[in-house]
Amino acid sequence: MEPTRADRFEGLFRESYPLVRAYALRRAAPDAAQDVVADTFLVAWRRLEDVPEDPLPWLYGTARRVLANQRRSAARGVALEQRLSGAAGADARPDLGDSVADAELVREALGRLSDHGREALMLSAWEGLDGARAARAAGCSRAAFAVRLHRARGRLAAELAFLEGLPPSDRSPEPRSLEVNS
């Protein structure tokens, strides 16, 4: 007997929930991550017939789009708040030790990368996906993903060197000089 739609979704949820939740937590605050996970599985329920046999890359791709929508919405809210208050918020970085400073430096360098480059690094390094699965999650071919990942690694290294104040001769390529959407 073939499993029912509810049984298939339950199995998908049980198997994938911890991984999708970890993916979201590495990219958003805990409250926002819970919303991302809920929305991701809502999309999976609605489009269960579109979920492939290997669902994790599909779920990561869905979560990536949910996060992007969430960021756009938050940015619009902040812009509206700033327009209404007439004041721009100042960023302050607390001095909590070397590890926090290093983490902030990496976050800042990652933030300076294109969305495609940042996502390629995160799918590969943080999610541990191989090239084929990461490419499916990113919605591109394996070759295109390999190029994105290669470029993103070089850009990240250059951005880190730039942020650490290394002289130009010690870094390559120049940060922001390769800002091509890969």
Domains of the chain with CATH codes:
1-90 (1.10.1740.10), 93-182 (1.10.10.10)
Max CA separation in the chain (angstroms): 67
Query: Of 36, 30, 43, 62, whose CA–CA distance to 139 is shortest?
Result: 62
What amino acid occupies position 172?
A: S
Q: Residue 138, Cβ neighbours under 10 Å: how many?
A: 24
- Work out the pLDDT band at 126, boundaries 50, 70, 90: confident
- Work out the pLDDT band at 1, boundaries 50, 70, 90: confident
**14 has pLDDT over 50:** yes
Q: Which two tokens stand for residue 105?
A: 């430096």
d(CA 11, CA 5): 10
22 close to 122: Cβ distance less than 8 angstroms: no
Q: Give the residue with greater pLDDT, 174 vs 25.
A: 25
Tens-digit pLDDT profile for residues 62-84: 999 999 888 887 777 776 666 76
The alpha carbon of 103 is separated from its chain's Cα centroid by a whole number of angstroms, namely: 16
The mean per-residue pLDDT over the stretch 43-56 comes to: 95
**38 has pLDDT over 70:** yes
User: What pLDDT is recorded for position 175?
Assistant: 46
Q: Residue 162, Cβ neighbours under 10 Å: how many?
A: 16
d(CA 114, CA 179): 7
